[in-house]
């Protein structure tokens, strides 16, 4: 028999209302409160129910996670079910956190249920299955069978279908599938519908990108510390840190304090997205170190930061690029850098 731990709050765990929202986590054997509604529907045994006050969870997340860790390690469940939280904000956070934490730490499957506008949905949807429910407990009767059906599919280790088929809120994870038709056939199908004014569905929704506000201009360049950055894959010859030719997930920094220029044969481009022949002939074409050293000598800029930063900007995902950008910016700020030149290729 598969083992299930159930998580709920003070209200659905039948301890009390808002006045009990500060109770610390506790665990009881078997199904308590809402868990009873699932008991006969899930293909497993609800071995215990964890109940915690919503305020307590929100204010003591680390402590609550430790409690949950201990119980998960002791009871070794196959699945954790939390909620459903409907549109309750704090309960939603607790359910989302329990599910994503357990899944992340132990690789154990988790499932919860929420109303689509619950703020916790955006935070946790990619880390657990959140079944879409109504906005209040009045929709409990509808929510339970949907959650139980998905829970059973997970317990049976069946492949989980698309969100609209299974009733969960899209995790926002792009998964490869083989369609029945080729891309060209699907494109023509889509165009014919679009031309007729019929409904069609794009396969890639256009993303909305973060708008980064430009920093204010540097007041006095002659006093400014300038850093050089490139996504052009320029590395010391031999590529000692194995920077990939494409889809890089890390960046490196190399010293430029003691050199006046990137010499041919001492540096090379490992970027696979452009013709590297000319870059290798004169690596300063990728990142103009020679010019900046001259500016530094002439006093046109205050100083040049002693390292340059490099990654390969080629088929890198937006998420990886954003993370690397934040890490580099943090490091530059700490080093007191006032401005940066980033060359792309």
Partner 1 sequence: MELELRKIYIKDIVFDEKTHVDSGVLYINREEISKLILEDERLSEVSIDIAKPGDSIRIIPVKDVIEPRAKLKGEAFPGIDGVLDEVGRGITYALKGCAVVTTGPIVGFQEGIIDMSGPLAEYTPFSKLNNLVLSIKKKENVSPHEHEEAVRVAGIKAAHYIAKQCLESEFDESETFVWNDLSVKLAEYPDLPKVAYVYQCIAQGLLHDTYFYGRDAKEMIPTLVNPLEIMDGALVSGNCVSAGSKTTTYHHQNNAVIRECFKRHGKEINFIGVVLSPMTTVLNDKYRNSIITSRIVEMLGADGVIQSQEGFGNPTTDLMMICKKLENKGIKTVLISNEDAGVDGKSEPLPDGTVEADAIVSTGNSNANLHIPKMDKVLGDLDALEHITGGFEGSRQEDGSLIVEIHGIMGSHNLQGFSKLGAVTK
Which residues here bind partner 1, judged by CB under 8 A? 126, 160, 162-163, 170-188, 190-192, 194-195, 200, 202-204, 206-207, 209, 242, 244-247, 249, 270-277, 313-320, 345
- Shortest Cβ distance from residue 212 to partner 1 (Å)? 14
Residue 14 vs 247, nearer CB to partner 1: 247
Among the listed residues 251, 260, 245, the one whose alpha carbon sits nearest the alpha carbon of residue 229: 251
CB closer to partner 1, 123 vs 140: 123
Q: Between residues 136 and 247, which has the closer beta carbon with respect to partner 1?
A: 247
The distance of closest approach from Cβ of residue 101 to partner 1 in the complex, given in angstroms and rounded to an integer, is: 17
Q: Nearest distance from residue 91's CB to partner 1, in Å? A: 25
Task: Report the distance separating Cα 249 and Cα 316, nearest Å.
Answer: 7
We find the least distance from the C-beta atom of residue 148 to partner 1, in angstroms, to be 20
Minimal distance, residue 162 CB to partner 1, in Å: 6
Strand, helix or coil for residue 192 = helix
Smaller CB separation from partner 1, 10 or 345: 345
Residue 327 Cβ vs partner 1, minimum distance, rounded to whole Å: 16
Query: Which uninterrupted H or E stretch holds 38?
Result: helix 35-39
Buried b (16+ CB within 10 A) or exposed e, 94-121: bbbbbbbbbbeebebbbbbbbbeebebb
Q: What gap in Å lies between CA 73 and CA 77, rounded to an integer?
A: 8
Longest CA–CA separation in the chain, Å: 80
Token pair of 188 as six digits: 């023509």
Q: How far is the CB of 241 from partner 1 (least distance, A)?
A: 9
In the complex, the smallest distance separating the C-beta of residue 313 from partner 1, rounded to whole angstroms, is 8
Nearer to partner 1, 153 or 171 (CB): 171
Which is nearer to partner 1, 142 or 193 (by Cβ)? 193
**Nearest distance from residue 64's CB to partner 1, in Å?**
25
Closest CB to partner 1 among residues 37, 310: 310
Nearer to partner 1, 29 or 180 (CB): 180
Name the token pair of 301.
């800029």
Q: Determine contact, residues 302/225, Cβ cutoff 8 Å.
A: yes
- Indicate the Cα dihedral angle 144, 149, 152, 153, nearest 10°: -150
- Cα(285)–Cα(233) distance, rounded to whole angstroms? 12
Could you write out the DSSP letters of every residue in 53-98? -HHHHHH-HHHHHHHHHHHHHHH--SEEEEEEEET-HHHHHHHHHH
Q: Residues with Cβ < 8 Å from 309, sequence gap 6 or more?
A: 227, 228, 229, 230, 251, 252, 253, 328
Nearer to partner 1, 137 or 245 (CB): 245
């Amino acid at each position: 028999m598969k083992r299930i731990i159930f998580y709920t709050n003070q209200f659905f765990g039948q301890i009390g209302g808002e006045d009990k929202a500060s109770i610390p986590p506790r665990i009881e054997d078997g199904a308590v409160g809402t868990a009873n509604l699932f008991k006969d529907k899930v293909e497993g045994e609800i071995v215990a129910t964890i109940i915690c006050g919503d305020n307590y969870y929100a204010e003591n997340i680390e402590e609550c996670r430790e409690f949950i860790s201990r119980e998960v390690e002791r009871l070794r469940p196959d699945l954790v079910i939390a909620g459903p939280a409907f549109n309750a904000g704090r309960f939603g956070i607790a359910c989302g956190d329990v599910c994503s934490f357990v899944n992340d730490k132990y690789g154990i499957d988790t499932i919860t249920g929420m109303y689509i506008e619950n703020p916790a949905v955006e935070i946790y949807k990619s880390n657990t299955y959140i079944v879409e429910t109504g906005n209040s407990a009045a929709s409990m009767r509808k929510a339970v069978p949907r959650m139980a059906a998905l829970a059973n599919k997970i317990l049976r280790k069946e492949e989980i279908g698309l969100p609209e088929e299974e009733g969960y809120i899209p995790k926002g994870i792009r998964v490869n599938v083989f369609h029945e038709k080729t891309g060209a056939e699907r494109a023509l199908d889509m165009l014919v519908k679009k031309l007729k004014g019929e409904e069609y569905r794009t396969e890639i929704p256009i993303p909305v990108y973060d708008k980064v506000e430009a920093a204010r201009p540097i007041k006095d360049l002659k006093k400014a510390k300038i850093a050089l950055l490139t996504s052009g894959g320029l590395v010391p010859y031999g590529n000692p840190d194995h920077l990939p030719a494409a889809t890089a997930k890390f960046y490196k920094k190399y010293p430029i304090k003691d050199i006046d220029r990137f010499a041919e044969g001492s540096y090379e481009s490992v970027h696979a997205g452009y013709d590297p022949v000319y870059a290798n002939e004169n690596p300063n074409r990728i990142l103009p170190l020679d010019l900046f050293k001259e500016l530094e000598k002439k006093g046109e800029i205050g100083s040049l930061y002693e390292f340059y930063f490099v990654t390969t900007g080629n088929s890198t995902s937006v998420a990886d690029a954003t993370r690397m950008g934040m890490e580099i910016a943090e490091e530059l700020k700490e080093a007191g850098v006032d401005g940066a030149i980033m060359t792309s290729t």
